[in-house]
Structure 1
Amino acid sequence: MARGAVTQAQRLQAVRRVLGGERPDDVARRYGVSRAAVFRWAAAYRRDGEAALCDRKAPGRRPLLSPGQRDEVRNLLLGLEPVRAGFSRQLWTKAMVRQVCRERFGVELSQASTTRFLVGERLLPPADQVPSDAGALREAARSGLALGSYANLPHHDGVALSVTWTNRSSWFGLYRGACPGAFSDFCVRLVEDSRRPVLLVGAPPLRELATTARELAGRLVLWPGGGAR
């Protein structure tokens, strides 16, 4: 029997054999464990009874951010303006969130753990909910536009609007409450941050926001399609 494969029932049997007078060395060989393990089981049994021999699940991975730190990051993002945190951009990115966690809490998040945090907080959509659109890809390539998929995620603090680019990087903003002008504001911030005109897939029309639509003409194209909603 391989070490580490001993069941709870076998541990109890081993202890009973020892308590019944069998030599610990013989019991250890019978169950394929060390002599020290047999002594440890017997001592635990004498102290706490059978409960001490129960199988215990391995503890899960400890979250890198405490609940209080997660709340602090969320409250910062709700302010929406990254300039308040010392950035020059209009929308948040994963790299900026990582920098905030490093500077404020001394916590170094990996790219993967940052993505898990933001997806778990419903600030970004899961990767499998970011679709591609062949027609939009062709149009973006032909016109030299930056292609992004739009997502509107209901959030308990308001609404999170985001764009995921073809290289899977993401920009996002978290808007407090109902915020009826959120999409218009998001689009303005998006084109201000982008070096190229943007083709945004799956976004609603800007017809009812005529002034904003005129301001963004030539810098933002809204492509009706299957963006994550």
Structure 2
Amino acid sequence: MTDRGRSALRTSADTFEVGPSKLHWDGEKLIIDIDEISSPPIISRVRGRITITPKALTEVELPLANDGTHVWRPFAPLSDIQVDLEADGWQWDGHGYFDANFGTRALEQDFNYWTWGCFPHSAGATAFYDVTRRDGSTFETAIQFNPDGAAEHVDAPPLTRFKNSLWQVRRETRADKGAMPHQHLNMLDAPFYSRSAVNTQLNGEEVTGIHEALDLRRFASPFLKPMLAVRVPRRSGWRFPT
């Protein structure tokens, strides 16, 4: 991830460009071309292509705040993904998903904490959102996505704590009563955020999906925010070639 200025942004009906990287929708699949330089401590070029082919597109738009200032849009929770980066061992394909969050206010203005997870299973995929807002109210939802793109709200199994992240971010997700979720693979560990592959049990089926936990009270700390400038390079003067 690289912070860039307005001069590095270019959009059209089917393409979104930020600096030398871009996303392009060709009508059937999302093609993501990456050309970046990673941040310390290991500074190296990250270049290649990721292709996401949805099994179906959904129509779901889920407001996370009562006034509609934040919306979750799961475009394609059931997808095939192909990764082809210019580095040894960074070529693979498998199950993927594509979603996005949209908002008109900073996340830390409206939320204290949330967990999210998307777990593929034999009947499609189920996603969970559990949110604690700044005003003390909570929001929770469980949505079942079918292979044809149809979606419906379903009853969620119990919210279950599991081991904190390396930075001691609290983690929890949904699991059948008596089952214990656990981390299968660590993907990103930050003082305020954890992303990982997690094993859990849903309706008697052992499943592995993507899980995130976000502590926005930590993120809002004036002692922590400056650390982002170290981990996220800034290229404010980048411009497209003429």
Class of the TM-score when normalised by the shorter of the 2 chains: under 0.3
Give the number of the structure whose alpha-carbon radius of gyration is greater. 1
TM-score by length of 1: 0.23
TM-score by length of 2: 0.22
Higher helix share: 1
